[in-house]
Amino acid sequence: MPLDRRAFLSLAIGAVATNLAGRPASGGTKERIKAIALDAFTTFDARPVFVLAEQLFPGRGAELGSIWRTRQFEYQWLRAASGQYADFWQATEGGLMFAAKLLKLDLTADKRDQLMGAYLAIKAWPDSAPALRSLHSSGLRLALLSNATAQLLGAWVANSNLTGVFEQVLSTDAIRTYKPDPRAYQMGLDALGLTRDQVAFAAFGGWDAAGVPKVEHFMKLGSWFAGTPDDLVAHLKGIEEKYPGMEHINFASPLTTPKDLMLEQFQIVAEEVMPHFRGSSQLHAAAAK
């Protein structure tokens, strides 16, 4: 089970899949997970936007993309918290303009339009479509629950030939707020007509999961993990045994995790966890570079 850091469906999806047989509900009975509400970026790959940024600003694209993404989310949260709502598209454009100005880049109207237009062209990760169709075929209800606008979500679904896979395509723009506002998750529950124990929320970032009332909810589902390297080895072995064909699992740190801490955690995983799995020699060599 070689480690792959692609953000494909997040570890949440792989972990949730191991719990579909049911888990104890608060009353002690078995409650089957009936639906997964996915954040859009667990399914759709925004990397081409930032590849374009490098093409338009050679040697500066990665720096521009990093600042842009950070400010994009910060603008959403600040506007929601201050009662000065602006939708995802406006927050994204504002973040781009801020990042370009900070880096003293000549962001012409044409380059701005190209970068913003690239958001409309986003498609699913290559692995996403077959995995989602498999889950859908199993009878699991799927929904998108995203801060992106309905226009963007509709474009991404169509670009990826995923029409009909999602029972609900929900934008928090409908209630003029952003995740992790608890109202956003409640909108998902209401649309699906299910209780919190029946829905797994697949988060792209740790901030997303913060909107769900209890950390224990995610710990039980397996979408968050906390423990020693030996505990993680045992956890991953369990997934590997149940899904012998699984080859990739994504590990991610919550948004705003300090870079030094994130690298330290990945180094521990590379040195103390992955040697227990197939293909670990290549991973260890990559981590050492």
pLDDT of 161 strictly over 90: yes
How far apart are alpha carbons 101 and 199 in whole angstroms?
A: 42
Has residue 74 been placed in a domain? yes
**Is 97 in the same domain as 230?**
no
> Pick the catalytic residue: 39, 45, 87, 197?
39
pLDDT of 54 strictly over 90: yes
Task: Encode 142-177: b = buried (16+ Cβ within 10 Å), e = exposed.
Answer: bbbbbbbbeebbebbbeebebeebbeebbbbbeeeb
Predicted structure pTM score: 0.64
Has residue 158 been placed in a domain? yes
**Is 135 in the same domain as 240?**
yes
**Is 103 in the same domain as 191?**
no
Has residue 3 been placed in a domain? no
Backbone angles phi, psi at 36, to 5 degrees: -120, 125
**Is 83 in the same domain as 98?**
yes
| pLDDT at residue 84 in the model | 82
Domain that holds residue 90: 47-120
Task: Encode 10-27: b = buried (16+ Cβ within 10 Å), e = exposed.
Answer: bbbbbbbbeebeeeeeee
pLDDT of 136 strictly over 50: yes
Confirm if 248 and 242 have CB atoms less than 8 A apart. no
**Is 38 in the same domain as 51?**
no
Among 120, 155, 173, the domain-final residue is 120
pLDDT of 17 strictly over 50: no
Which stretches does DSSP call E strand in 39-147? 44-45, 123-124, 141-146
pLDDT of 198 strictly over 80: yes
Has residue 2 been placed in a domain? no
**Is 255 in the same domain as 166?**
yes
pLDDT of 18 strictly over 70: no
**Is 29 in the same domain as 56?**
no
Has residue 1 been placed in a domain? no
How far apart are alpha carbons 106 and 197 in whole angstroms?
A: 50
Has residue 235 been placed in a domain? yes
Chain Cα centroid distance, residue 236: 20
Any idea what the CATH number is for the domain that residue 97 is in? Answer: 1.10.150.240
| Number of structural domains found in the chain | 2
* Mean pLDDT of all residues belonging to the chain: 79
**Is 282 in the same domain as 144?**
yes
Active site residue 230: no
| pLDDT at residue 154 in the model | 97
- Give me the percent of the chain exceeding a pLDDT of 90: 43
| pLDDT at residue 220 in the model | 55
Among 120, 153, 172, the domain-final residue is 120
Q: Which residues contact 251 (CB under 8 A, 6 or more apart)?
A: 3, 5, 11, 266, 269
User: Mean pLDDT across the stretch 101-128?
Assistant: 94
Any idea what the CATH number is for the domain that residue 278 is in? Answer: 3.40.50.1000
**Is 38 in the same domain as 177?**
yes
**Is 18 in the same domain as 63?**
no
**Is 64 in the same domain as 157?**
no
Q: How many residues would you count in the chain? A: 289
143-153 residue pLDDT tens: 999 999 999 99
* pLDDT: which is higher, 64 or 219: 64
**Is 203 in the same domain as 234?**
yes
Of the spans 129-143, 151-165, 220-234, 241-255, which averages the highest pLDDT? 151-165
Has residue 5 been placed in a domain? no
